[in-house]
Structure 1
Amino acid sequence: MKAITQYKYGSPGVLELQVVDKPVVKDDEVLVRVQASSVNPLDWHFMRGTPRFGRVVMGLLKPKNKILGADVAGRVEAVGGNVKQFRPGDEVFGDAFERGLGAFAEYVCVAENAIVLKPASTTFEEAAAIPVAAATALQGLRNKGQIQPGQKVLINGASGGVGTFAVQIAKSFGTEVTGVCSTRNLEMVRSIGADQVIDYTQEDFTRNGRRYDLVIDAVGNRSVSDLKRALSPGGRCVIVGFTSLGLLFQAAFLGPWMSLVGSKKIGLMGTVKPNSEDLEFIKELIEAGKV
């Protein structure tokens, strides 16, 4: 089969189109004929081998995963002996990360519990853009953020991959949503459901005097102290992305320490694991027209 491969870390120039062996499905796996896959920041980090401490997982000197690609949408080609939920021909979407990525290829093996049937209303291309970004938004809001109806929620980076899903999912929980984005994306963020929008080129959401019950920082470009200032008493902030190692270490270490003092809680999202339960939840939102 054809696949986009990499044998060293670096820029996109390290990627090569090659013919490689087709994967062999295991008992608990599903072999998917890939119709579409999307590119995530996760793929960029694995391609570059950054941050360097991440190479403990990625491979110390060279990539452990020779084929990138977490998000996948396609048709079931074959199923393992223990698989009960799918059969050949099913149209599915999901996440290949648990089994070592591999979606930038004609075929990929995924765990049975990492895919679900594709929403009938979406194309393969649309479905391939959903799993990692939407699961990140859902788990950040619900699991880490403990979102509740009636809360005031702010999404920093509301026009990005995670942010656009976060705006819509937060609205589905019955919250009042404020989206932070650039001037050119204000109308788009309004169109997907944000009650209010903030143009970050004109206004600093951490210094405008407004306070929020839950902040999802999908950019990672603000200090922990800035984010804490934007929270209401008892509020929570979940930091999903980061733009520098300094801010990453702040989120990982200073945030939890500051959370011990007072009622405001700040923490790093951590590892996102798309699973069939969350993907099914997201699929239902899509079919209901809420995402």
Structure 2
Amino acid sequence: MKAIVQDAYGEADVLRFEDIDRPTPGQGELLVEVRAAGVDAGVWHLMAGLPLIGRPAMGWHKPRMRVRGLELAGRVAAVGAGVTRFKEGDEIFGTGWGAFAEYVTVREDRAARKPANLTFEQAAAVPVSACTALQALRKKENAGRVLVIGAGGGIGTYAVQLAKAGGAHVTGVCSTAKADLVEKLGAEVIDYTKEEITGTYDLILDIAGNRRLRTLREHLTSDGTLVFVGGENGGRWLGGLQRNLGGLLLSLFVKQNLRGLLATEPATDLERLRELIEAGTITPVLDRTFPLAEAADAVRYQHAGRVRGKVVVVVSPQVGL
């Protein structure tokens, strides 16, 4: 089968389009014929091997997992022993390591039936980013005022929609190029190229941001919650973890809740997102799609930071025929 592989860390040039063996589903796993795969920020970090603190899990000298990609949508080609929720031919979305390939194995508890009103491309843009937004918003119940920094990106577009659906007044921070999108999603817009953040908020989601912890706390209510969702300004060793650790330590001494987020993609959350999507409450925002052979270009485009919503890699619908 065709797949995007790498055998060394680096920029997108290390990604290669090659033939590899098709995987076999194990206990509790699905073999999925991939139709589309989302490109999230984690793809770049695993490709680059950064931050270095993650190397013990990723592989110190070279990637432990050769095939990139995580979030996906496709059809079940076969089921492993013990699988009860799916059968061959079912259309699903979820996560599986090595999604930039014609086939991938997916744990049954990391998959859900594809929303009936979405294409495969749209569904592939959901699992990682929407689950992250959903779990970040759970950090503060009944938040009246929510600030989403990075509101025009993959996670941000879902966070704005989910917070609005929960009844919050949402303010989104983004660039001029994304302001119209964020406004259409229902948020008040702060264009960071023209103005500073003002006001106070019950919940602040800082998505891959680089603002100082002290600055963010100034815009947080006395008992508010600040959630760091990723980070791109902490250096090669810690990445965005240094602000997370600083916030966690400071939370021991102040009323404000300052937390990082390590998101997962359980079937329960995927099913909840499917319900919200089919009800029309949230909708994926797609910027561009790339064919599988051009996945390296998709990663470059995503990492440049100008994406409105999500980037998706499309696998030929003729795969496996």
The Cα of 1:249 is off from its aligned counterpart by 4.2
Asked whether 1:276 is paired with 2:267, we answer: yes
| Equivalent AA in structure 2 for residue 286 of structure 1 | I
Deviations 1:247-289 (A, max 9, x none): 72442221122222231121111x2110110011111111111
| Equivalent AA in structure 2 for residue 147 of structure 1 | E
| Equivalent AA in structure 2 for residue 31 of structure 1 | L
| Equivalent AA in structure 1 for residue 77 of structure 2 | E
> Would the aligned equivalents of 1:33 and 1:106 in 2 still touch at CA under 8 Å?
yes
Match of 1:198, SS? strand
Taking structure 1 as the reference length, the TM-score comes to 0.93
CA RMSD of aligned residues (A): 1.2
Residue 102 and residue 249 in structure 1: after superposition, are their counterparts in 2 closer, same or farther (change >3 A)?
closer
Residue aligning to 1:215: 204
Residue aligning to 1:43: 43
| Equivalent AA in structure 2 for residue 134 of structure 1 | A
Q: For 1:268 and 1:239, how far apart are their aligned partners in 2?
A: 5
Q: For 2:84 and 2:202, how far apart are their aligned partners in 1?
A: 42
Residue aligning to 2:106: 110
> Would the aligned equivalents of 1:147 and 1:214 in 2 still touch at CA under 8 Å?
no
> Would the aligned equivalents of 1:224 and 1:266 in 2 still touch at CA under 8 Å?
no
Unaligned runs of 5+ in 1: none
The Cα of 1:176 is off from its aligned counterpart by 0.9
Deviations 1:137-164 (A, max 9, x none): 011111xx22316x10110000000000
The Cα of 1:17 is off from its aligned counterpart by 1.4
Asked whether 1:160 is paired with 2:153, we answer: yes
Number of residue pairs the alignment of both structures matches = 279
Runs ≥4 residues deviating over 2 A: 246-250
Residue aligning to 2:127: 131
Taking structure 2 as the reference length, the TM-score comes to 0.84
Report which stretch shifted further, 9-18 or 155-164: 9-18
| Equivalent AA in structure 1 for residue 249 of structure 2 | W
**After the TM superposition, which residues 257-276 of structure 1 pair with which residues of structure 2 at under 5 Å, given as runs?**
257-269=249-261, 271-276=262-267
Q: For 1:249 and 1:63, how far apart are their aligned partners in 2?
A: 21
Residue aligning to 1:241: 230
> Would the aligned equivalents of 2:231 and 2:241 in 1 still touch at CA under 8 Å?
no
The Cα of 1:51 is off from its aligned counterpart by 0.7
Asked whether 1:253 is paired with 2:242, we answer: no
Residue aligning to 2:217: 228
Q: For 1:25 and 1:257, how far apart are their aligned partners in 2?
A: 42
| Equivalent AA in structure 2 for residue 102 of structure 1 | G
